[in-house]
Copies of this chain bind each other. A is one copy, B any other.
Amino acid sequence: MTVPQTSPPQTTEPQTTEPQSALDPLNTAVLTIACADQRGIVAAVSQFLHGHGANIIHSDQHSTDPAGGTFFMRMEFHLAGLDLAREAFERTFAAEVAGPFGMDWNLSYRTVPKRMVILVSRYDHCFLDLLWRKRRGDIMVEIPLIISNHGDLRRDAEMFGIPFQVVPVTRETKAEAEAEQVRLMKEAGADFAVLARYMQILSGEFLRSFGRPVINIHHSFLPAFVGANPYRAAFNRGVKLIGATSHYVTEELDAGPIIEQDVLPVTHRETPDSLMRLGRDVERQVLARAVKAHIDDRVLVHGNKTVVF
Q: B-contacting residues of A (Cβ < 8 Å)? A: 4, 6-7, 9-14, 16-23, 25, 39-40, 42-43, 46-47, 49-51, 55-63, 65-67, 69, 78, 121-125, 128, 132, 136, 138, 150, 152-153, 155-156, 159, 199-200, 221-225, 228-229, 231-232, 237-241, 243, 257-263, 267-269, 271-273, 276-277, 280-281, 285, 288, 302-308
Contact (Cβ within 8 A) A12 B200: yes
User: Can you name 16 A-B pairs with beta carbons within 8 Å?
Assistant: A7-B152, A18-B67, A21-B66, A23-B66, A23-B67, A42-B42, A42-B56, A46-B47, A62-B268, A222-B224, A223-B224, A223-B239, A238-B258, A240-B261, A241-B262, A268-B306
Q: Chain B's nearest CB lies how many Å from the CB of A227?
A: 10
Residue numbers in B under 8 Å from A40 (CB-CB): 50
Number of copies: 4
CA separation between A212 and B214, bound complex, in Å?
49
Residue numbers in B under 8 Å from A152 (CB-CB): 6-7, 9
Contact (Cβ within 8 A) A19 B229: no
CA separation between A123 and B128, bound complex, in Å?
17
Q: Chain B's nearest CB lies how many Å from the CB of A274?
A: 9
Residue numbers in B under 8 Å from A56 (CB-CB): 42, 61
Q: Chain B's nearest CB lies how many Å from the CB of A146?
A: 15
Which one of B61, B269, B305 lies within 8 Å of A238 (CB-CB)?
Answer: B305
Which one of B51, B222, B302 lies within 8 Å of A239 (CB-CB)?
Answer: B222
Residue numbers in B under 8 Å from A237 (CB-CB): 222-223, 258, 304-305
Known: A6-B152, A124-B136, A257-B238. A199 touches B11 (CB 8 A): yes
Contact (Cβ within 8 A) B238 A306: yes
Contact (Cβ within 8 A) B39 A55: yes
Contact (Cβ within 8 A) A66 B240: no
Sorted nearest first, the 10 A-B pairs with minimum C-beta distance are A238-B305, A9-B122, A21-B67, A16-B272, A43-B50, A43-B46, A224-B224, A268-B307, A42-B46, A240-B261
Known: A9-B123, A18-B271, A18-B273. A66 touches B43 (CB 8 A): no
Known: A60-B60, A67-B21. A122 touches B42 (CB 8 A): no
Beyond A11-B122, A42-B56, 5 additional contacts (C-beta under 8 Å) are A11-B199, A55-B66, A125-B136, A223-B224, A268-B307
Which one of B138, B261, B269 lies within 8 Å of A62 (CB-CB)?
Answer: B269
Closest to A241 in B: B261
Q: Chain B's nearest CB lies how many Å from the CB of A113?
A: 17
CA separation between A81 and B9, bound complex, in Å?
53
CA separation between A252 and B89, bound complex, in Å?
52
Which one of B78, B132, B223 lies within 8 Å of A128 (CB-CB)?
Answer: B132
Contact (Cβ within 8 A) B19 A67: yes
The residue among A9, A10, A240 with the most chain B CB atoms within 10 A of its own CB is: A240
Which one of B243, B267, B272 lies within 8 Å of A308 (CB-CB)?
Answer: B267
